[in-house]
Structure 1
Amino acid sequence: MKYIAHRGQPLHAPENTIPSFILAAEKEHYYGIECDIYSTKDNHFVVFHNDDLMYMCKNPAKIMDLTLEEIKAFSIRAGKKIKSYSGLQIPQLSEFLEICSKYNKAAIIEIKHIHNLTQLTDLIAVIDEYPSLEVIIISFNMNYLKYLRALVNIPLQYLTSKLSDEMIYDCRANLIDISISKESVKPALIKRLKKEGFKIAVFTVNDKKQAKQFEKLGIDYLTTDKL
């Protein structure tokens, strides 16, 4: 089972920031690092989890309403537990990919929201700048994944908390693997998915005992904040 660092090391540095990604990259047992992306108003890709800046920057502005230059003007507030980090900016996707490439970690890119599907072609162009980098693209939006599958053969994963027969069919037909919430993991379901040839990821697991149970079930990838 391969471990993936969820938004870097969010317990030790602000999530989805350069320091958080570097801390994760320096740990040998992580196979990959996960990030979240949005498109900006002027067609760039930035790494951020929420659709507005309130949680990380104490500003209600919507990230997709801003240009890259406007986004770079904001500073991320580190919070009480990690005060040593201050003045951090919201990274571009390319900065995240540089870290993954330098430390030989798989880049797990979750597409949160983009302005239109054609921007996925631009996303692939950014990724193609790192030809030796292993990349997995994940999303809760099946339409994004279907569009990407028509463009590229890289690994894709559909994120979901509830898995229906229709979803399983869609994933099988489009060669998309499945990433499910830990609460949805049932031995019978995992056995079925493995039999049908899927690679299976689980999110977000922070308990060692539970992680061991998932490993015994044959889970392929496990996303964690701290394990």
Structure 2
Amino acid sequence: MSNIFAHRGSSGKYPENTMLAFKKAEKTGCYGIELDVQMSKDRECFVIHDETVNRTTNGRGYIKDKTLKEIKKFSIKSGWLKKERIPLLDEVLEWAQHNSLIINIELKNDKIRYEGMEELVVQKVAKFNLEERVIFSTFNLQSVRKLKELTNSEVAALYSKKGTNPLLLAQSTGADAIHANQRVMTEKLMKDCQQNGVPVRLYTLNKPVAIEKWIQAGLNGVITDYPELAEQLKKKRAVKA
């Protein structure tokens, strides 16, 4: 049965990549959460999808050009949530020690090649003793290989380009799993991976028809903005079975 991952937390209803979204996701009973990591000027790991703070906060500029102190002053854009801030990865990992969620950490180092990001993130996970509950993922294939050298945690290769063979991608990078855009995956490609011991997880599955289709097909992981909906559809499918 497919495992449900809350994409940037329960981001369909709450501000993405915030502690609120992660806590709300936990309450849905989902298997895990997915989050994104960028690095600040003073080498702090912040949980935010974009390279800049422009879209999701009241601030402007690149994460890489700002310090922890500067970033912590920004508020998440949400009319009724004036106190929500960009969380540090440390804050999320500390919170994760008190639940059983699997944490999918996506390193956003494909556009900006943050020097030493892999080592830093792996060290933080080890600090909180969460190695067995973390999946690392990245679009940066060089980074996939580096992570495989640094950690025993699961490492997934991300891709979104049509024509890519996911099994060959996993084999060429040493990735343990494949995380792909739903638009570039077929059931045959998924089965090829699974038959060779490579689990497949797809993003971002939000429509009931798509979620039901892939759960029925035997997808390993549904990455969705609506974990509560996905869990309900999963349970409905289990009852029918």
User: With structure 2 as the length reference, what TM-score do the two structures score?
Assistant: 0.85
Q: Which amino acid aligns with 1:25?
A: E
- Correspondence for 1:7: 8
**Take 2:142 and 2:186, find their aligned partners in 1: how far apart are those partners?**
26
- Correspondence for 2:184: 184
SS of alignment partner, residue 12 of structure 2: coil
Of 156-165 and 40-49, deviating more is 156-165
Unmatched tracts of structure 2, length 5 or more: 230-241
Aligned residues: 222
Unmatched tracts of structure 1, length 5 or more: none
Query: For residues 35-114 of structure 1, what are the structure 2 equivalents within 5 Å?
Result: 35-78=35-78, 83-113=79-109
Identity of aligned residues (%): 27
Contact 1:33 1:100 survives alignment (8 Å):
no
Over the aligned positions, Cα root-mean-square deviation in angstroms equals: 1.8
SS of alignment partner, residue 136 of structure 2: strand
- Correspondence for 2:151: 152
**Take 1:128 and 1:137, find their aligned partners in 2: how far apart are those partners?**
13
- Correspondence for 1:130: 128
Structure 1 residues 166 and 224: alpha-carbon distance in aligned structure 2, compared to 1, 3 A threshold: closer
**Take 2:21 and 2:212, find their aligned partners in 1: how far apart are those partners?**
25
Q: Which amino acid aligns with 1:203?
A: Y
Contact 1:72 1:89 survives alignment (8 Å):
yes
Contact 1:39 1:64 survives alignment (8 Å):
yes
**Take 2:114 and 2:139, find their aligned partners in 1: how far apart are those partners?**
16
User: With structure 1 as the length reference, what TM-score do the two structures score?
Assistant: 0.90
Contact 2:38 2:107 survives alignment (8 Å):
yes
**Take 2:192 and 2:9, find their aligned partners in 1: how far apart are those partners?**
31
- Correspondence for 1:162: 161
* 1:102 to partner: Cα distance: 1.4
Contact 2:167 2:192 survives alignment (8 Å):
no
